[in-house]
Amino acid sequence: MQIDLEHLHYWMCAIRESQDPKRTLDAFWRGQINSKIWLIEEYSKVRNYSANLPRIDIHGGWVGVLASMLFQSGLKIDVINSIDIDPNCEKIANQMNQLEYQTGRFRAITSDMCSYTSNADVIINTSCEHITQDEYNIWLNNIPKNSMIILQSNDYQIPEHIRTASNLEKFKEQSHLKNIIYSGELKTQMYNRYMLIGFSDV
Ligand X SMILES: C[S@@+](CC[C@H](N)C(=O)[O-])C[C@H]1O[C@@H](n2cnc3c(N)ncnc32)[C@H](O)[C@@H]1O
Interface with ligand X, residue 131, by CB under 6 A: yes
54 binds ligand X (CB under 6 A): no
Out of 15, 96, 113, 151, the residue judged to bind ligand X by CB under 6 A: 113
Cα(136)–Cα(156) distance, integer angstroms: 18
- The footprint of ligand X on this chain (CB under 6 A) covers a number of residues equal to 15
Does 86 bind ligand X (CB under 6 A)? Our answer is yes
Could you say whether residue 127 binds ligand X (CB under 6 A)? yes
Binder among 89, 148, 151, 195 for ligand X (CB under 6 A): 89
Sheet of strand 192-199, all strands in order from the earlier edge strand to the far edge: 106-110, 80-84, 56-59, 122-125, 148-154, 192-199, 179-187
Q: Which is nearer to ligand X, 114 or 195 (CB)?
A: 114
Considering only residues 156 to 175 of the shown chain, the ones binding ligand X according to CB under 6 A are none
The region, left, alpha or beta by phi > 0 then psi within -120 to 50, assigned to residue 104 is left
34 binds ligand X (CB under 6 A): no
CA distance 85 to 60: 7
Contacts 24+ apart (CB under 8 A), 156-164: 156/129, 156/190, 156/191, 160/130, 161/129, 161/130, 162/129, 162/130, 162/131, 162/132, 163/128, 163/129, 163/130, 163/131, 163/132, 163/133, 163/136, 164/129
Q: Binding to ligand X by residue 85, rule CB under 6 A?
A: yes
Quick one: which of 84, 90, 100, 121 contacts ligand X (CB under 6 A)? Answer: 84
Tell me the closest approach of the beta carbon of residue 127 to ligand X, in angstroms. 4
Relative to beta strand 148-154, strand 192-199 is antiparallel
Q: Contact between 40 and ligand X (CB under 6 A)?
A: no
112 near ligand X, rule: CB under 6 A:
yes
Closest separation between CB of residue 49 and ligand X, Å? 26
C-beta closer to ligand X: residue 6 or 134: 134
The residues of the shown chain that bind ligand X, judged by CB under 6 A, are: 32, 60, 62, 83-86, 89, 112-114, 126-127, 130-131
